[in-house]
Amino acid sequence: MSDLMLTDVSRWYGNVVAVNDVNMQIGPGITGLLGPNGAGKSTLLSMMAGLLPPSSGTVTIDGQPTRGNVAIYRRIGLVPVQESLYDFLTGAQFVRLNADLQRVIQPDKATERAIGLVDMAGAASRKISTYSKGMKQRIKVASALVHDPEVLLLDEPFNGMDPIQRRHMMGLLTHFAAQGRTIVFSSHILEEVEQIARQVEVVVAGRHAASGDFAAIRRLMTDRPNQYVVRSSDDRRLATLLVAEPSVRGVRLRGGKALEVEADDFGAFTHAVPKLAQENGIRILELTPTDESLESVFSYLVNS
């Protein structure tokens, strides 16, 4: 059981602040590090792994700094985002390489075990250049697991995977978490995080924007005001009806062709619109949220 702790951690590159005064405590189970591109997720993972020194603050595992600490490196496995592997090696050679680097006592046995864990025994003697994206990700995970680390850090592990590969990887991570390991993975896709993470840490523009279980993060999102475009057979009448709805904050006619509606209770609003329309003989032609993108969710979380 390992606790990963970030205390007042910042990292800058020249005058780019990649990570800005982040405090986080991460325990066993799966934690999703969620944020848009460039938010600082890779930088955070590199600092957690002890590969990159923080410009200020400390990263510890069970109270011991991760940076420059060989004993701690043995307890961490990192799956980097980079696609480029040693394509000329077989899967088994690639995993074995890390077993040797980590000075694993029985490297052959450990290599075989790690390859078995990710279900790659059948392809282990093939060159990595012949692997699919999903297989490459799995062999990277095997390499990161070869020294049996308690902490597994994965940078965008689902990138480019098809739904079957993704499900397989999610199953693996869930399995590792059930063994008591501390798993942290980064993603910019909310649904990925929702499916397997027990805990979610949201990072935006280098700042720690929100933290909690998925339900808490989701509540933050759905309780915020949402914008919608509504088109109907009678926009003017629908506007009058909507204004009286408790969930609706404001209605505007957009160029006489559609309504722009701001509502602050997603569930109530999306129930009210079809009900009102039906009761008043109005046909709804379109109901589209305009600000559903992750970025708008993040900017809301950060600014609130």
For ligand ATP, the binding residues (CB under 6 A) are 13, 16, 18, 35, 37-43, 188
* Token digits of residue 77: 């496995």
* Token digits of residue 198: 């027990």
Sheet hosting strand 4-13, strand order edge to edge: 16-26, 4-13, 56-61, 64-65
Give me the helix-helix angle, 91-101 and 133-145, nearest 10°.
30
Question: Residue 235 CA to chain centroid, in angstroms?
Answer: 39
Please, which residue, 42 or 137, has the CB nearer to ligand ATP?
Answer: 42
Task: Work out whether strand 29-34 and strand 182-187 pair parallel, antiparallel, or are unpaired.
Answer: parallel
Nearest distance from residue 292's CB to ligand ATP, in Å? 20
Please, which residue, 47 or 242, has the CB nearer to ligand ATP?
Answer: 47
Are the C-beta atoms of 76 and 50 separated by less than 8 Å? yes
Please, which residue, 59 or 92, has the CB nearer to ligand ATP?
Answer: 59
Neighbours of 127 (CB within 10 A): 15
Task: Work out whether strand 64-65 and strand 56-61 pair parallel, antiparallel, or are unpaired.
Answer: antiparallel
Nearest distance from residue 196's CB to ligand ATP, in Å? 18
Nearest distance from residue 84's CB to ligand ATP, in Å? 15
Please, which residue, 28 or 40, has the CB nearer to ligand ATP?
Answer: 40
Nearest distance from residue 49's CB to ligand ATP, in Å? 13
Please, which residue, 96 or 207, has the CB nearer to ligand ATP?
Answer: 207
Nearest distance from residue 103's CB to ligand ATP, in Å? 29
